[in-house]
Amino acid sequence: MALDRSVAPKFQIPQDFQVGRPDCYELSNGAKLYFFSTPGIDAVKLEAIGTSARRTLHLEDQLVPRLCLEMILEGTNNLTADQIAEKLDFYATEISPVSSFTHEGLRLISTKKQFWNILPLYLTLFEEASFPERYLDKKKKQKALAIKIDQEKTASRANARFREALFGIEDPFGYETKVENIEAINAEKLKDYYFHHLWSNMEFFVAGNLSESELKELFKLLGCLPNRIRKKTIKPSLIFQSQTIDQGDENSVQVSLRMGGPSISMKHPDFLALSVFNTFLGGYFGSRLIKNIREDKGHTYGIYSSLQVIGGIDYVLIGAEIQKGFKEEVIQEVDLEIQKLRDTPIPIDELSSVRNYSIGKMLSQFSNSFDLLDRFKAVHRQGLGMDFYEKKLAYLKIFQGQEIMEVGQKYFSEKLPIQITVG
């Protein structure tokens, strides 16, 4: 029978959805290794990730961890930056830093054929980085320029003011690095962090087509890497006092809006319902906020809402870049859309659209083995297992409008406490 290409394929929700679990091993240095086997896919992804020690640093040194990681590829005791780059190019391999507020490490992506050829270089980066001064000077100039450019962007300034409102300016997560902070960084500070703070509470995440004997060899090599066991870092405390910050800028052509407040963790029994509420509100391109503020009123190219977490602190964030002169109207419309979603029954067709979108988006996040590794890390850091995704799909199939309204009434009964406008 001929295929009718004028008719879109019927959307089908899988009846059964099970995601693979990684094999877990403990290495001789006390680190855990999580492995996903990828038969038939001759590529390897290896991530060595530890907890960041940035909360132990002075505020003016908050950029040291990131700069330290970026400098690792600029030379070792035996190789220059150019020689490292040539090796990576020859073996078709990428090595890149992993850096966030709470975690840091190194990522390697290579073919199975070249993995064992490039692995010795990767391993030397954990103990033999040399931090050459000339490359450090160049990096510092680049960082200083980037900060100056960011300070001219209303979006960057709004993000910084939002974090300050969340954590306070005396907290590492709320502090905004300044140009003079970069100028004060030297090779000695980077070396101190590299040799005494980096590679703490290490975990290794591996996806690849590796045999049992190859795995044993990898365990042996990774087990020789440094792993500084430290107590859990102090969880930051949120301020979340009602704050309205309005920074005018006559030179800007738009206003950056950030609104937010406290939220709940992925472990909370209400999280799945709240995440669906967020999707209706501003979590996809057909959301309430998009239809109202972008499509109907034309005040922005895009507006979003999201559930986010930094260092174990969960919060909701609504953000947009809007036309000047309409910020008060946009803020009112955001509050109105939250109220309507919270208090008015959701139409059946909208329920169906969000259900199908949410299921499709979730399933698309498992398109390959490297995605599987990323999905595992996302729940692992929240103290959850891969069954979270199975429970999520089961929930997405059955949620009803009434429970979405109820979770909105529970967590959005009052206006969001933080409101930032810059521009």
Identify the CA nearest to 339 among candidates 399, 292, 284.
292
Mind listing the pLDDT tens digit for each residue in 297-346?
999 999 999 999 998 889 999 999 999 989 999 999 999 999 999 999 99
CA-based nearest residue to 333, from 390, 385, 295: 295
Q: With beta carbons less than 8 A apart as the criterion, state whether 198 and 28 touch.
A: no
Straight-line distance from the first to the last Cα atom of the chain, in angstroms, rounded to the nearest whole number: 60
Quick one: which of 110, 119, 125 has its CA closest to 207? 110
Residue 249 has pLDDT above 90, yes or no: no
Cα separation of 181 and 371, whole Å? Answer: 37
Superfamily of domain 23-222: Metalloenzyme, LuxS/M16 peptidase-like (3.30.830.10)
Closest by CA position to 14, among listed 360, 261, 322:
360
Question: Strand (E) positions, 200-299?
Answer: 203-208, 243-247, 254-262
Q: Is the pTM higher than 0.95?
A: no
* Residue 247: pLDDT band with limits 50, 70, 90: confident
Pull the structure tokens for residue 49.
Answer: 């990730």
Q: Are 122 and 106 in contact (CB under 8 A)?
A: yes
Architecture of the domain whose range is 243-422: 2-Layer Sandwich (3.30)
Closest among 64, 131, 125 to 99, alpha carbons compared: 64
pLDDT band at 84 (very low <50, low <70, confident <90, very high): very high
Query: In sequence order, which residues have a C-beta less than 8 Å from that of residue 400 and are 6 or more positions away?
Result: 351
pLDDT of residue 237: 63
Once rounded to an integer, what is the mean pLDDT over residues 188-207? 97
Locate CATH 3.30.830.10 in the chain. Answer: 23-222, 243-422
Pairing mode of beta strands 43-51, 203-208: antiparallel
Does residue 67 have a pLDDT over 60?
Answer: yes
Backbone angles phi, psi at 375, to 5 degrees: -65, -35
Short-list 116, 96, 119, CA closest to 107: 96
Q: Position of tokens 């490297």?
A: 370
* Percentage with pLDDT > 90 across the chain: 83
Residue 158 pLDDT = 95
Q: Is 297 exposed, middle or buried (0-12, 13-18, 19+ CB in 10 A)?
A: middle
What gap in Å lies between CA 224 and CA 54, rounded to an integer? 24
CA distance 176 to 272: 33
**pLDDT for res 16:** 64
Query: CA 280, CA 268: separation in Å to the nearest integer?
Result: 20
